[in-house]
Structure 1
């Protein structure tokens, strides 16, 4: 029969079920209710953390081509902006306004775009790829008082205080390219193929005017219409004209539409044009490469056709710093595609707008705050850290950033071997000397440094001797340099080397025309964990970094040789595209029925995280073979600019002197312990869900324990704690670490980990102590009916917590516990000797409670001490004797003594002896005694149910006289009633003997030595 829970007699259905349900069913119902409450709490907490608690989310408008031939550009812009907003929302506090993107298709036309922007209620706007769209909507931003960041568009800067241009003016960019082609490339013959529109003609004129300053002019110009059915025919005519005239020199290609530009390059190459191509940033987008792959059907590969094309670009990922590297990794992981410069510009614009959002009450105030924040970025000491480097807006709202020069190596856009950077130092006066020395150029009305780009690669062969105490590791690697000119890039300083390392004799070297190559094999010890990067606690950052010993970033810049290291992601795309195109040519359709395009292939490739090419190369090389217990978690190679002390060098000391900024190349590997970790399989939301459910379960257990409901509920609540406490500890630890890694220093994170590491010992100890209480002491109290002394409970719990403390010292603080154990043992021995008597009494009391030879109120005889047990403590047993005195006996003496428990018997037999003159008839005497026994008054003693017995023993000689010996036996229920029972028997016999003529005097007179008739009792 199941154990029922008596709840009440209410007749309603829920109460009826509770009244009749078993404890198990009630507990399961409580768990279901707690689970439902946990789900609601989780959803509410998620809404509080991820949404705006004070109102709806704030929209930021993204105006981009979402349809038509430039839809690929719009997709890149949306992706970059979306990633910036997601990162901002994830890093924002729970009280910050959440941001969302509102995309608007700019191909709808200026009026429709302006109307959609006005209806959006946005706090800021970013975007525009089309110049017409940007110019048509620009005045609307002023009318709406809506700050706008133009991520593209070549329209000149206006006096509109609400519009900010994040890219350089393309006219200035074209002049910049003309300077580079003439003075760096050294080209003296240039021709132009341009779109037949106002923009194309303006850019061509700017390029021609710049060349004429150096005595060079454009020889030929060809125009084409970017749209129309006859576009390809016109492009083929241009190609035949170029080849027919044997036109020499460089061809500047001007185009805006990705499809038309790709068609232009493909047609020229297919028709046999082999001139060098140079172009503006429009030819450096992922959409252009996608369209070029679609269009290419010539002999050879598309990579070969595009190889060597020189373009200007706002951003090069191989020369950018860690911020851009992190963006590239996050973008690749999220979208399974490598980002182009346009995605990076949209990311920067969205980040700028998001960081400028203030907690103002009204939309107008927030828009004004964003505008003011952007306007404040108007000078060199108030820059914004973009992916390409620090930048600010000039007085006309145009960015201060200058374009970089990239060159296609296949379909990979890598940094050109020489870059131009502005000379900003006010104290530099010897510009002519800098130009004469070949270190500077006069470009676009300003002097600029010629910066040598050195492609640098690192291949790690082995990581060994990881010393966590010394914070060092031994690394064996090969480093190589590829550069042009007379620089000595191998003269480097390893910033984290334990001892100085000099690159003396190269292992390999080569010269290919004006290209130099040196490779060095190095082995040394390096300090670990020297970079402040986000990583899980317990992991170790192993790596190396170096910069040139004397040349600052103005003269030399290291960039990672991703092609030489074999870690180019876009090259993997190209290999996949070639394979699919070959299959398509053979009649085999690509995946999803599409001919292999870049956008199609990117969707099926996983290039982030564990499958990154660098990480795969390190695992294949087994760089951790000398180490045990460690795995490679992440790895990257990046370049950055780092400030170095001037050390008194006059080149860097004094007003207006260049800052001692040096180009640094770093290779880093994150090592993680070769052990299971919850964060490897659970996401942030999963930890949050577990924490909520574990907290709800813990609260339910605490509420149920507020009142003692019996052993069943004690077991259930203990089970809840055993399940919920470790889960709560695990989830909160990971959530706290994730938050700490984002917001606090490494020292704070270390202290948090230390606290949770101690809790992993304290919580199990607490659970063990509770289990001991509920499964040993409470059942023991129920069996014995006595309370276990608190000192016993405290002593057992103290032992458990002492072992937990030793575990914390040994495994958390990594300290030896031998001396503590020895000291603790000696202390315990001294204390034990001092209180050994009390300890013996305590454990004897435990034994007595377990065996229970007597209960409270029992009549016992211990060591000839008889009485009633009235109390039993952790040290003594108290007995009250018949006289009322209380006798305390130590428990160790009680446990060793012979114990007679007279309260445990069903009845106590009382036996008395009667001696009379032999002259009386035994039968008569026996009958009289039986009558007396039957007539017992029961006033004092409680007679048992056993029948009384009277026996005639016979004639005996007692004290020299012959007497008749009779025995009378009866039973009483309580031991102390034996004497009163005999007294009642005597009182009943006396009148009966007198009435029967049994005269005690005659007996006395007949005897010379009187022997009084007597009753002798025996138990």
Structure 2
């Protein structure tokens, strides 16, 4: 058993090792077959915050990509290079990238000066590069360089127009750095300002690498202060700072400390954490966050309060991974990585070192082919595509700092893509909805800060997908635009915001708050369906104003979203969801997107685009899930396909092992392993299928698939439970009972299991009440039970019999008052016996289980038999007991352990009170096997009793009744009666042909030997030329087995003999003979038999035939197939020759009586040719 267990464990270990090697090999191959890209930026130095932000965004995308299989099975490997925002260092890093010759594309640099200088290397070696932040127009002069955002020309002109047309400033002061970025922006701003009538009243430049930079900045601020005092128009001037964060921090601090109250406007380089958090070291900022930055306007490629849903999801993922809020730099790092990877995926690269140059060209060409929004790669920052210059024409947003956070300014400018979409351009200009900026028309878009505070969520009905919601909603805005005139799209009954609960006007900013209560539709957001989860919340848009003139943005300040506590935690802490609903909140998010509506042919909106109206839509999503234990989250989605494959493979392996392995203990282990991996397969296949279809089909179909798997979660365990019943109930019952379990019993239990599973499906999957179903099934079960109650009684009695096992198939039993018989079958209704007369007796199980049962085959097949012998009372009891014991021991079927016994029970009672007892009563007790052979055993014992008593001159007597029993001559009592040897020999088969001529001669020469119990007569393999005849007692014949231990092959009693082969052929003693009781033996040797054998061929043949039969009989006791292996005729001839040679006379006519000198003669009498081994 231990060896088998070790073998099976080795098999399992081998399988697991193969799987591990396969999985590890796949990971190794995936590492070998990888695509390399490089990132270059300021990882250290003054600009490290921005460089690390870019890197975090890139890693966030690549980690998710690689976990989901990479690009066509190839992992994307990122190599990071640090240029410290230094153009010389950037040039050296570019040369190192070219030298390594691994990267297929490059993300970087951050500074425009670095990008311009390193771009010469990339162009020379044909390496495509995309910058996430360098905005100088010269960066994309190379056809190998692309930009993921707007350029400085667009940004500079936008800043000047916004300062003049939106903020209303007529003059500006400019402070800029000497780097390409800052100086170019300053030039563009100045040029545009002059074009639109703004005066530049101050312009100063400082050198970044100046040894006296701090003093230079201080001098500039002082000169600016003096200019402020000299000009009357200074009050309506705005300060434009065109620099990077480090220098910008110093300038702002100097100006604020000098009490400059003029508004400041800055480019995207200062719309970063590096800038906003750079003031934290100053006491004023610590005491009042935003002391230095509040009110500063900054352009930004992305502001999260106006961003789409993808950006909000990116924000959540970023915060979950890095535990900090992302900025637009991280988002552009994320999108730039996405652009590069999608280009690699779609460019048709080969991905080998020898094809690297061709692959780079393919990637570059693919990027250049993304020329319009229809072909764009949609990311978290919007549509990613490139114009002919390699720039991505993304809109420019303007933000304003509040409490160190950049939020959308209340007015945004958006380019009119097609002038024809405005039916009356003059009216639009006059109303202020459209501005003429930089020789093109731009929408003046009002930004409405919008916030929601949920008070209560109740009456959730996810079957109807409805819920009740009570919440506050507020708007903060400028102008007269009525932002409360909304359409709540998922409200079941139309809701209008009428009277505000609060209304204020502070510093030209309107504030209105409303309380809303109503019933809403769930799962209202397209594509937001998740596995066994639902989305509740609210979505609305303005009833009239399109996105061109109104954008609802998230009031991050008003809702406290800038604090460390997440929005989800706040909602959970507020306990807005009723506890008795058994639902929990898993995620909460706000976002704004676009809702498209047709213009229905309105002349106002007739244009080539098809008359589609785009509204700004504000959304609150609250994802809820059942408050229940589930296994669906235990498998990582990134490993689901590997787990599915491994589990499916192991199920097949263990199913085959269960089929071909016979060990019941191991099969038990197999069932547990099989059940475990079967559930893993269901779980992983459910997740894999759902993830595959979630973006390819409707939510209705997804719910149908989930319902199917919910049903499987009842059916599969029911199937496994049925297998468990087979493994742990039916199979053990069959093994213990030795018969097959009826199919109906199996089907009955299986039906019960599957019916219970069906009830579970009805109750928990279909959510139907079981009351009526159970009542109907209960009534049906009652009717059926009454009809078959007798059968049910017998079935349960049959189960009890199979479990209790008072008898088994093949056992000899007596059940109650029925006849004895052997059990042939135990059905679930009756027990069948075959009686002695061959008839089948069927006993109902209900009777068999309630009556006395005598089992003669349990716990083993041994049983005791008792024989009563009546002997003349004149014989000594001790003598009679010994003779009877010898008779019992001489029967081969009688076991020696336990040892047979004889008892003297006394004298029988007389016929009358005046008569004397007529017999002595003796009891023989023997233990034998196989009750079915009871009569055979009885016959053998009685035969031996008769022979042993008769041999001693004792005859059993019968009870005297009418018959007079008398003797003609008086009986003379002797201590012992010893039969005449001649009479004994006459009964032996080997002496029959010579009995008359040898009777007197041999009887006179016979040697009589008396031995005690346990004495050895002959030893196996010892020389011997004598025959022994048992006159009294029992002799055990023993031989050595393969392990050298003595085993008893036979027992012989009175009238039997042994040593015949030694007497007639000279064979050494075949047995070790040991007396089992006090015994008397006749010994006849070779010299006694010689006169009757020499020159007697007829006697040789006779003896050879008898010896052949006895030889085969004795060998068959060692090897039951011996008779089939030996050629009997050849063996007989060999024995006959041996007899002739053994008794051959010498030259002087005498017979040699001594033991042969050649010991091998006795040991190997017959040739191997006698054996027919084929």
Q: TM-score, normalised by structure 1?
A: 0.79
Contact 1:61 1:120 (C-alpha < 8 Å) held by counterparts:
no
Task: Return closer, same or farther for 1:229/1:177 CA change in 2, 3 Å cut-off.
Answer: same
Q: Offset at 1:513?
A: 3.9
For 2:48 and 2:326, the matched residues in 1 are separated by 15
Please point out which of 890, 898, 907 is paired with 2:865. Answer: 907
Q: Could you say which residue in structure 1 is the equivalent of 2:246?
A: 259
**Does 2:66 align with 1:89?**
yes
SS at match of 1:67: coil
Q: Could you say which residue in structure 1 is the equivalent of 2:1144?
A: none
For 2:181 and 2:798, the matched residues in 1 are separated by 102
Q: Could you say which residue in structure 2 is the equivalent of 1:290?
A: 277
SS at match of 2:326: coil
Task: Return closer, same or farther for 1:727/1:977 CA change in 2, 3 Å cut-off.
Answer: same
For 1:509 and 1:395, the matched residues in 2 are separated by 50
Task: Return closer, same or farther for 1:940/1:825 CA change in 2, 3 Å cut-off.
Answer: farther
**Does 2:96 align with 1:116?**
yes
Matches within 5 A, 1:741-820: 746-747=699-700, 749-751=702-704, 753-762=706-715, 764-766=717-719, 768-781=721-734, 783-820=736-773
Q: Offset at 1:790?
A: 4.2
Please point out which of 281, 296, 320 is paired with 2:307. Answer: 320
Q: Offset at 1:879?
A: 4.0
Matches within 5 A, 1:725-740: none
Residue segments in structure 2 that go unaligned for 5+ positions in a row: 895-899, 927-932, 966-1174
Contact 2:115 2:139 (C-alpha < 8 Å) held by counterparts:
no
For 1:802 and 1:111, the matched residues in 2 are separated by 75
Task: Return closer, same or farther for 1:832/1:139 CA change in 2, 3 Å cut-off.
Answer: same
Q: Could you say which residue in structure 2 is the equivalent of 1:858?
A: 812
**Does 2:423 align with 1:470?**
no
For 1:461 and 1:470, the matched residues in 2 are separated by 22
Q: Offset at 1:702?
A: 5.2
Task: Return closer, same or farther for 1:302/1:626 CA change in 2, 3 Å cut-off.
Answer: closer
Q: Could you say which residue in structure 2 is the equivalent of 1:355?
A: 342
For 1:757 and 1:327, the matched residues in 2 are separated by 31
Q: Offset at 1:853?
A: 5.7
Contact 1:877 1:890 (C-alpha < 8 Å) held by counterparts:
yes
Contact 2:176 2:243 (C-alpha < 8 Å) held by counterparts:
no
Q: Deviations over 1:676-711 (max 9, x none)?
A: 556778865798999899889878865764456656
Tell me which moved more, 717-726 or 464-473: 717-726
Matches within 5 A, 1:236-315: 236-245=218-227, 246=229, 247=231, 248=234, 249-294=236-281, 301=288, 303-315=290-302
Q: Could you say which residue in structure 2 is the equivalent of 1:30?
A: 9
**Does 2:80 align with 1:103?**
yes
SS at match of 2:146: strand
Task: Return closer, same or farther for 1:188/1:855 CA change in 2, 3 Å cut-off.
Answer: closer
Q: Deviations over 1:169-220 (max 9, x none)?
A: 2123111111111111111122212224665454333323322333332122
Larger RCO of the pair (alpha carbons < 8 Å, separation 6+): 1
Please point out which of 327, 330, 334 is paired with 1:343. Answer: 330
For 1:403 and 1:71, the matched residues in 2 are separated by 25
Q: Could you say which residue in structure 2 is the equivalent of 1:375?
A: 368
Tell me which moved more, 373-382 or 745-754: 745-754
SS at match of 2:370: coil
Q: Offset at 1:417?
A: 1.1
SS at match of 1:907: strand
For 2:846 and 2:511, the matched residues in 1 are separated by 91
Please point out which of 590, 593, 602 is paired with 1:640. Answer: 593
Q: Deviations over 1:594-618 (max 9, x none)?
A: xxxxxxxxxxxxx5xxx41x22332
Contact 1:239 1:273 (C-alpha < 8 Å) held by counterparts:
no
**Does 2:577 align with 1:624?**
yes
SS at match of 2:38: strand
State the structure with more CA Rg.
2
For 1:999 and 1:780, the matched residues in 2 are separated by 56
**Does 2:382 align with 1:395?**
no
Q: Offset at 1:224?
A: 2.2
Task: Return closer, same or farther for 1:624/1:971 CA change in 2, 3 Å cut-off.
Answer: same
For 1:393 and 1:978, the matched residues in 2 are separated by 106
Contact 2:265 2:296 (C-alpha < 8 Å) held by counterparts:
yes
Q: Offset at 1:350?
A: 1.3
Q: Could you say which residue in structure 2 is the equivalent of 1:136?
A: 117
Please point out which of 196, 201, 217 is paired with 1:219. Answer: 201
Q: Deviations over 1:821-843 (max 9, x none)?
A: 34444554565566655545444
SS at match of 2:619: strand
Please point out which of 162, 176, 182 is paired with 1:180. Answer: 162
SS at match of 2:261: coil
Q: Could you say which residue in structure 1 is the equivalent of 2:978?
A: none
Contact 2:450 2:552 (C-alpha < 8 Å) held by counterparts:
yes
Tell me which moved more, 661-670 or 855-864: 855-864
Q: Could you say which residue in structure 2 is the equivalent of 1:444?
A: 438
SS at match of 2:390: coil
Task: Return closer, same or farther for 1:36/1:713 CA change in 2, 3 Å cut-off.
Answer: closer
For 2:538 and 2:175, the matched residues in 1 are separated by 47
Q: Could you say which residue in structure 1 is the equivalent of 2:153?
A: 171
Contact 1:42 1:689 (C-alpha < 8 Å) held by counterparts:
no
Task: Return closer, same or farther for 1:859/1:466 CA change in 2, 3 Å cut-off.
Answer: closer
| Count of matched residue pairs | 925
SS at match of 1:181: helix
Q: Deviations over 1:870-897 (max 9, x none)?
A: 5544444444444444455554555567
Q: Could you say which residue in structure 2 is the equivalent of 1:145?
A: 126
Contact 1:619 1:632 (C-alpha < 8 Å) held by counterparts:
yes
Tell me which moved more, 554-563 or 396-405: 396-405
Q: Could you say which residue in structure 2 is the equivalent of 1:423?
A: 416
Q: Could you say which residue in structure 2 is the equivalent of 1:156?
A: 138
Q: Offset at 1:759?
A: 4.6
Tell me which moved more, 111-120 or 829-838: 829-838
Contact 1:859 1:869 (C-alpha < 8 Å) held by counterparts:
yes
Matches within 5 A, 1:884-895: 884-892=838-846, 894-895=848-849
For 2:183 and 2:941, the matched residues in 1 are separated by 140
Q: Deviations over 1:484-534 (max 9, x none)?
A: 122111100001111100011111111224322211111111111212455
Task: Return closer, same or farther for 1:204/1:897 CA change in 2, 3 Å cut-off.
Answer: closer
For 2:324 and 2:791, the matched residues in 1 are separated by 77
SS at match of 2:137: coil
Tell me which moved more, 150-159 or 370-379: 150-159
For 1:283 and 1:539, the matched residues in 2 are separated by 41
For 2:572 and 2:468, the matched residues in 1 are separated by 18
Tell me which moved more, 538-547 or 775-784: 775-784
**Does 2:755 align with 1:821?**
no
Contact 2:111 2:181 (C-alpha < 8 Å) held by counterparts:
no
Q: Offset at 1:793?
A: 3.6
Contact 2:477 2:511 (C-alpha < 8 Å) held by counterparts:
yes
For 2:700 and 2:174, the matched residues in 1 are separated by 59
Q: Deviations over 1:335-369 (max 9, x none)?
A: 23322222222222111111121353133443333
Contact 1:259 1:292 (C-alpha < 8 Å) held by counterparts:
no
Tell me which moved more, 701-710 or 53-62: 701-710
For 2:192 and 2:956, the matched residues in 1 are separated by 159
Q: Could you say which residue in structure 2 is the equivalent of 1:206?
A: 188
For 1:197 and 1:720, the matched residues in 2 are separated by 68
Task: Return closer, same or farther for 1:425/1:993 CA change in 2, 3 Å cut-off.
Answer: closer
Contact 1:34 1:700 (C-alpha < 8 Å) held by counterparts:
no
Q: Could you say which residue in structure 2 is the equivalent of 1:18?
A: none
Q: Deviations over 1:311-346 (max 9, x none)?
A: 222111111111111222222332233222222222
For 1:993 and 1:147, the matched residues in 2 are separated by 123
Q: Offset at 1:477?
A: 1.0
For 1:233 and 1:936, the matched residues in 2 are separated by 132
For 1:374 and 1:57, the matched residues in 2 are separated by 21
Q: Deviations over 1:911-967 (max 9, x none)?
A: 99x9xxxxxxx989999xx99x9799999999985558796655579xxxx999989
